[in-house]
Amino acid sequence: MNIVNGFSKLTKNQKINWLVAHYFNNNQAIEPLLQTYWNSNEQLQKLHDEFIENTITNFYLPLGIAPNFVINGTTYAIPMVIEESSVVAAAANAAKFWSKRGGFKATVLSTEKIGNVHFMFAGSFEKLTKFFNTLQSIFRNRTAEITKNMEKRGGGILNIELIDKTADLANYYQLHATFDTKDSMGANFINSCLEEFANVLREEVMEFDLFTSEEKESLQIIMSILSNYVPNCLVRAEVSCKIAELHSKEIENPQEFAEKFVQAVRIAQIEPYRAVTHNKGIMNGVDAVVLATGNDFRAVEAGVHAFAAKTGTYASLSYAEIDGDTFRFWIDLPLALGTVGGLTNLHPMVKFALELLQNPDANELMQIIAVAGLAQNFAAVKSLTTTGIQKGHMKMHLMNILNQLKATAEEKATALKYFENQTVSHSAVVEFVEGLRK
């Protein structure tokens, strides 16, 4: 067993040497490979090394740009960090399509974030309620130092409720707190407040005269943590136009297209097998911009998919309708994002991405990212209901296949020209390249 003690205390080179010695046969190839991805700027590399623990190198993903996004009358070039070949092209195509039809509209519906103190109490709920009511001012006073700067920016603690969850789990209760964290994602702020709420519970329960000694002893704090499910931190993005205006090179019959499009979205609303893939396409756009702007895509993913299942059945995040002669397509997404704090102040490419987006506040970033998700969804459903998804996707994937085959520049140029009017598949590309080489 390759068990190691004190790995985190080793230098980066020592970590690499240990990995090479224990896990790789080709010792001479691994270390140069890892060092190839180090930044030549030592100060910048040190910054990257300190983002996480046990860093050995950098892992690069492409940063692409999807231009021509018109959102609420402002034109954006949206940065996207993603490895999937067709995503940026699809977003750019959808952006250009809608730029000629009025652009995207986006509205922040609410900005409430949530955190909970989870605790057990084996006593009278009536007495617990009276106890809780005595604590409201104490909760606020004890967190005053934590909240003062946030309150100066117009945010802070919105509300604190006592929630009885004993029907689901014996003796289980929550403090359910809501917050407005303005331009910060707010995880550290929320968690600090929650932990202080827990301290108040622990201390004040011993002083509450209505409780018996057994009731006092029964109160046990389990954990204090924010929730990444933010159904009341919500943004809407939408597009609409006259059905006749949908006409394009791919859409020869706008009425038929609109009807098929609406049906495709309705299928995703009632069929979970389709809904998961439908929503994955939305998240292609969302996650790519979340990553580019230094936000937490895992938190966003978890919250969005929980929202997709809020009715008890997993369903489409987007909606489409025909109203008279008008086609409308929209999405509501829960997005807890920040434009200050975290990597936004540290990562040079995050700073670049935010500047490229004209330094949005958190609400504006919510709108931009929701639009990116809607654009991606429109592009996917449009392809599915017209030419089929594989034609465009495999065209974009062609270069990856050629690179896998170590094609020369001349071979790439010849292959790209040949496959302009041919179906792209891995086997077809292999056969074509092997034919060239004969």
The model's pLDDT over 283-318, given as tens digits with 9 standing for 90+, comes to 999 999 999 999 999 999 999 999 999 999 999 999
DSSP state for residue 368 in the 8-state scheme: H
Residue from 113, 393, 395, 397 carrying the catalytic annotation: 393
CATH code for residues 113-227: 3.30.70.420
According to CATH, where is 3.30.70.420 located in the chain? 113-227
pLDDT value of residue 392: 57
Percent of the chain with pLDDT over 70: 98
pLDDT value of residue 344: 80
- Mean pLDDT over residues 57-76, rounded? 97
Give the pLDDT band (50/70/90) at residue 345.
confident
- Mean pLDDT over residues 367-395, rounded? 86
Cα Rg for the chain, rounded, in angstroms? 27
pLDDT value of residue 436: 84
pLDDT value of residue 426: 82
Range with the lowest mean pLDDT among 2-11, 284-293, 312-321, 375-384? 2-11
- Residue whose C-alpha is closest to residue 232's, from 336, 331, 111, 318: 111
pLDDT value of residue 277: 98
Q: Is the pLDDT of residue 97 over 60?
A: yes
DSSP state for residue 271 in the 8-state scheme: -
Range with the lowest mean pLDDT among 10-24, 25-39, 89-103, 239-253? 25-39
Q: Is the pLDDT of residue 255 over 70?
A: yes
pLDDT value of residue 411: 83
Residue from 31, 49, 84, 321 carrying the catalytic annotation: 84
Q: Is the pLDDT of residue 393 over 60?
A: no
Give the pLDDT band (50/70/90) at residue 219.
very high
Measure the CA–CA gap between 178 and 333, rounded to whole angstroms: 18
Residue 315 CB partners (closer than 8 Å, separation 6+): 268, 269, 270, 272, 275, 308, 309
pTM as predicted:
0.89
Q: Is the pLDDT of residue 177 over 90?
A: yes
Give the pLDDT band (50/70/90) at residue 157.
very high
Catalytic residue check, 393: yes
Residue from 280, 351, 412, 426 carrying the catalytic annotation: 280
Q: Is the pLDDT of residue 184 over 70?
A: yes
- Tens digits of per-residue pLDDT, 117-153? 999 999 999 999 999 999 999 999 999 999 999 999 9
According to CATH, where is 3.90.770.10 located in the chain? 63-109+234-387
Give the pLDDT band (50/70/90) at residue 227.
very high
Three-class secondary structure of residue 181 per DSSP: coil
For 170-301, strand residue ranges (E) read 172-180, 220-227, 233-242
CATH code for residues 63-109+234-387: 3.90.770.10
Catalytic residue check, 280: yes
Residue from 183, 215, 296, 364 carrying the catalytic annotation: 296
Provide the mean pLDDT of the chain: 94
